[in-house]
Structure 1
Amino acid sequence: MKVVSLLGSAFAESCRLLAQKISKDYNPDLVIGVLTGGGYVGKEVFSSLPHTEKRLYIETRIQRTNTKTKEKSIIRQIFKYSPIFLLDWMRMLEAVILEQKAKRKNPKREGVISFPQDVDSLLKSELKNVLLIDDAIDSGATLHLLKEYLEKHYANIVVKIAVITVTTPNPIVDADYFLFHDRVLVRFPWSNDVKMKK
C-alpha cells in the first residue's frame, strides 16, 4: 500500500492520461461525473476526450436519506500541523480499517438517483455508451448502485467505469479504466489532508 499525491499539474496530467486510455477503445455518448470527487475528475477527463458535438457531460450524486455530518474542523487542524509521513500513515491505517470492516459487513449504498428530463429522454431514445467517472473506487458500492440503476432503467446501454485509482483488491464493482489499482491511495487537490503552501 502506498500514497500518491496528485496536485496541481500532476492532477490535470493524470486526468489527461485517463482520457487517453478511455478513448482508445470506448466512445461514450454520455459522461457522468459522480460527485463530489468524480465531478472534478469528470470535468478534466471530459475536456481531454476527443470533442464531438453529441457527447454530453452531467454530474450526479446519490441523495442519501440519512447522511451523518462529519466534524471536520478539528480534523483539518490536526492535518494542518501534521507532517506528510504521518498523513500518509493515517491514510493507510484508515484504508486497512475500512477493508476489514467491508470483509465483515457487505458494503451497500442506498439513496435516490435521478437524472434531468433531457438526459432521461436521451437514455431512452437509442443505444447509448455511458461512462461513469469517480475519483476512486474503495468498496465500489456507490458505482455499483449507479451502474445497476442505469442498466435496470434503460435498455440498450453500455455502462463503463473510469477512476484514477482502485484502492482495494476486490471491490463490488471494478473499473474498466484506471491509472492505479490495488491499494494505491491518492491525495487529490480537494483532499482534507492536502498541505497548503505558505
Structure 2
Amino acid sequence: MKIKYLIKDDFDKACTSLAAIVAEKSKPDIVIGVRSGGGFVGRKMLENWPSSPPDYKEIEIKRELTKKKEKFKVSSILKKLPRFLTEILIKAEVHYLEVRNTKNTKRIIPDHFIGEFEDYFSGNSEIKALIVDDCIDTGNTLSVLKNFLIKLNPNVKVEIATITITHKNPIINADYTLYNRTICRFPWSMEIEQE
C-alpha cells in the first residue's frame, strides 16, 4: 500500500479532479461533506465545480479511534517523528483496522444536525445527494449517513465521492474516487505541520 501526500496545490488539484469526474456523470441537488476531512474536500470541490454548484451542507460523524487519538494528543508525537517512521505507523493503523472488525463501531449523528437535514430531506420528492469524504476505510461512517438520509426520504438517491479508498473490502464503496488502496495524507492529517 502506498502513501500519497496531497498538500497545498496537490490537494486543490485532487478536489478539482474529483469535482469534474462527478459533474461529468451526475447532477446532485446537494453535496454533503462529512467533517472534518470530507468538509475540506466538499468545500474545495464546490469552489471548482465546473457548472452551477449544488446546495451544500456538512455533517459531523467521528469514529471512536479518532476521538482516542485526539485525547492522547497523538498528533504532537507524530509531528516530531521522521517521515519514514510516521508512514510505518500509518500503514500499521490501516492494517489494524482492516484486521480488527471495526465495522460495528457505533457512530452517532449529533442531534443538531438531524433537524437541519430533516428540513431539507422531508417529503417524498426525489433528491439526488452526493456524500463527500476524504477517504473510505471501513465504510461504516458513510453507511450510517447513507441510511440516515434514506430514512429521512426513501426517494433520495445517494452517491458517494472520496479522494481514496484504503481498505480492501469496505462495507460501502464510492461511486467516484481518485485512488484505491492508497493512504492519502492531507493538510489536516495529524502528522502534517500546519502553516
Q: What's the TM-score bracket when you normalise by the shorter of the two chains?
A: 0.7 to 0.9
Point out the structure with max Rg over C-alpha. 1
- The count of corresponding residues between Structure 1 and Structure 2 is 190
For residues 56-111 of structure 1, give each alpha carbon's deviation from its aligned partner in whole angstroms, at most 9, with x where no partner exists.
Answer: 1010113889x9553343x3343222211111111111111111112xx6433331
For 1:64 and 1:37, the matched residues in 2 are separated by: 13
For 1:63 and 1:90, the matched residues in 2 are separated by: 20
For 1:9 and 1:72, the matched residues in 2 are separated by: 31
| Residues 68, 136 of structure 1: alpha-carbon distance in 2 compared, 3 angstrom cutoff | closer
| Residues 60, 16 of structure 1: alpha-carbon distance in 2 compared, 3 angstrom cutoff | same
Q: TM-score, normalised by structure 1?
A: 0.86
Which residue matches 2:185?
187
For 2:63 and 2:105, the matched residues in 1 are separated by: 12
| Contact 1:162 1:175 (8 Å CA) reproduced | yes
Q: TM-score, normalised by structure 2?
A: 0.87
The SS at the match of 1:191 is: coil
For 1:47 and 1:35, the matched residues in 2 are separated by: 17
Counterpart AA for 2:47: S
The runs of at least 4 consecutive aligned structure 1 residues that moved more than 6 Å come to: none
Which residue matches 1:83?
82
For residues 98-154 of structure 1, give each alpha carbon's deviation from its aligned partner in whole angstroms, at most 9, with x where no partner exists.
Answer: 11112xx6433331353454x534423421110000111010000000101111220
For 2:193 and 2:63, the matched residues in 1 are separated by: 30
Which residue matches 2:157?
158
Is 1:175 the counterpart of 2:174? The answer is yes
For 2:78 and 2:122, the matched residues in 1 are separated by: 46
Name whichever of 6-15 and 150-159 sits farther off. 150-159
In the TM superposition, residue 36 of structure 1 has moved relative to its aligned partner by 1.0
| Residues 112, 77 of structure 1: alpha-carbon distance in 2 compared, 3 angstrom cutoff | closer
Is 1:111 the counterpart of 2:108? The answer is yes
For 2:42 and 2:174, the matched residues in 1 are separated by: 14
Gaps of 5+ in 1: none
Gaps of 5+ in 2: none
| Contact 1:60 1:115 (8 Å CA) reproduced | no
| Residues 85, 140 of structure 1: alpha-carbon distance in 2 compared, 3 angstrom cutoff | same
For 1:159 and 1:196, the matched residues in 2 are separated by: 34
For 1:189 and 1:22, the matched residues in 2 are separated by: 23
The SS at the match of 1:148 is: helix
Is 1:138 the counterpart of 2:137? The answer is yes
| Contact 2:63 2:141 (8 Å CA) reproduced | no
Which residue matches 1:22?
22
| Percent identity (aligned) | 34
The SS at the match of 1:139 is: coil
The SS at the match of 1:11 is: helix
Equivalences for 1:35-74 in 2 at 5 Å? Answer: 35-52=35-52, 55-62=54-61, 69=68, 70-73=70-73
The SS at the match of 2:14 is: helix
For 1:84 and 1:47, the matched residues in 2 are separated by: 31
The SS at the match of 2:177 is: coil
